[in-house]
Structure 1
Amino acid sequence: MAATETTATATATTVGELAQHLLALLGQCPTSCRRIIVAVAGGPGSGKSHISQLVCQAVNSNSEERAVVVPMDGFHLARAHLLAMEDPEQALQRRGAPWTFDAEGFVAAVKRIRSDDTSKIVRVPAFDHAAGDPVPDAIAVRPQHRIVLVEGLYAHVSEEPWAQVGLALADELWWIQPADAKANYERLALRHVAAGLARDRERAEERIAKNDALNGAYAEKTRLAATRTILN
């Protein structure tokens, strides 16, 4: 991880520059070297998933398919698992909190991706938003994928087991910071209603206050120093 932090605004130009930066890093590695891993994190609604996808697309548009995104969402515990907890109602309401993820599984997957043996396909789960549950082995990190953007709310957390990603596995840490907190709040509220997570604006705001705000505060409080901060 770089010693100094840089800050940029998420524009089309910046996305292109980030893609070129990753390709330059890749160019410094021999064909046989391990994959480059970038851990992308940010608060709820910050745009970490969107920016990760844009950078991935930009990398792949300039070359063969060398980049892939691995979202942390695939490591949500299944609803059946949450319903089996001591307080299933709270578990469902707090879905997205650190303890509702398979953190060990997430770290293990990133370790496999970082492995020196890049000849093997690494399969990781994805999250099916329609079904509301993870789908095992839905994403394939293939041998040609030399750049992997691992994105999620807790990708920079300094507490175990999450900390292994930022301290030992990722080459760079990119933090997505909302340029306008009010606009970010609006975006998050609208997203909850559109996704069916809240039936109206009032319920969306309640969800933000009782879940997203708590999770975001934890991620912010415990995060490691970022290599780059990207304003969005």
Structure 2
Amino acid sequence: MTNISENPVHGLILPQEYIDHAKILARRKERTILAIAGAPGSGKSTVARLLHEALKDISMIVPMDGYHLSNKELERLGRKERKGAPDTFDVWGYKALIERLKNQQKNEIIYAPEFYRTIEEPIAGSIPIFDNIPLIITEGNYLLLAQNEWKTLAPLFDERWFVTAPIAERQQRLVDRHCYFGRSVEDAKAWVEHTDEPNAQLIEQNKQNVNLTIEWKNI
């Protein structure tokens, strides 16, 4: 396990070894799908973003969060208060997208959805993926979950990275995030305790087929 550090002066630091490894993956003859998974607040989205920023010309990020069920559908199902749990996503829709990306045809543009936190809803057709991009970086909580329909995803990925972080730091990031998007501190802490943390424990304890584990720490 290698650490990723957050330097208060120089900002976020992604070790060169990860960038170099991803470059090697991108040189394969066929398109490579790199999955980056982790618990809420672990830093997986940041790892994906930093990796893409280092490899802009050869990579694209496709987040799992675009397959959140809409708030309207969550209300119908009675799951809105558990938004973010495994059964609040369209896993089969996400799986179909990954399968399409693995077999993208020449001159075909595939559109992926994106989740917008400002409105707490996914929007279809937000991310265009072109056929000449060799490395697809997909990130999300449940990509490596060894339960139910989620367990069918891992074999689709060419490489699987798992991002982890100390519990206190992970939870504080989540509280800060929820507050930034409009929750009170009390509501944010309650959501983390009753929704985010049970999901985090499920993810940490039921991951499968991990090729590389990254620990994110503040220093």
Q: What's the TM-score, normalizing by structure 2?
A: 0.90
Which residue in the other structure is 1:204 paired with?
188
Q: CA deviation at 1:161?
A: 2.2
Q: How does 1:1-232 map to 2 (within 5 A)?
A: 7-11=1-5, 14-27=14-27, 29-30=28-29, 33=30, 35-60=31-56, 65-85=57-77, 87=78, 91-115=79-103, 117=105, 119-166=107-154, 168-178=155-165, 180-196=166-182, 198-199=183-184, 201-232=185-216
User: Would the aligned equivalents of 1:45 and 1:188 in 2 still touch at CA under 8 Å?
Assistant: yes
Alpha-carbon distance change, 10 to 177 in structure 1, aligned in 2, over 3 angstroms:
same
Q: CA deviation at 1:225?
A: 3.3
Aligned equivalents of 2:167 and 2:148: distance in 1? 29
Q: CA deviation at 1:14?
A: 4.2
Matched AA of 1:103:
V
Q: What root-mean-square deviation, in Å, do the aligned CA atoms of Structure 1 and Structure 2 show?
A: 1.6
Q: CA deviation at 1:211?
A: 0.4
Q: CA deviation at 1:116?
A: 5.8
**Structure 2, unaligned runs of 5 or more:** 6-11
Q: CA deviation at 1:18?
A: 1.4
Q: CA deviation at 1:119?
A: 4.0
Bigger share in strand: 2
Alpha-carbon distance change, 182 to 13 in structure 1, aligned in 2, over 3 angstroms:
closer
SS in 2 for 1:17: helix
Aligned equivalents of 1:170 and 1:119: distance in 2? 23
Alpha-carbon distance change, 13 to 205 in structure 1, aligned in 2, over 3 angstroms:
closer
Which residue in the other structure is 1:4 paired with?
none
User: Would the aligned equivalents of 1:15 and 1:55 in 2 still touch at CA under 8 Å?
Assistant: no
Q: CA deviation at 1:66?
A: 1.2
Q: CA deviation at 1:117?
A: 3.2
SS in 1 for 2:149: coil
Deviates more, 1:94-103 or 1:118-127: 118-127
Paired positions, count: 210
Aligned equivalents of 1:36 and 1:131: distance in 2? 32
- Quote the sequence identity (%): 28
Matched AA of 1:68:
M
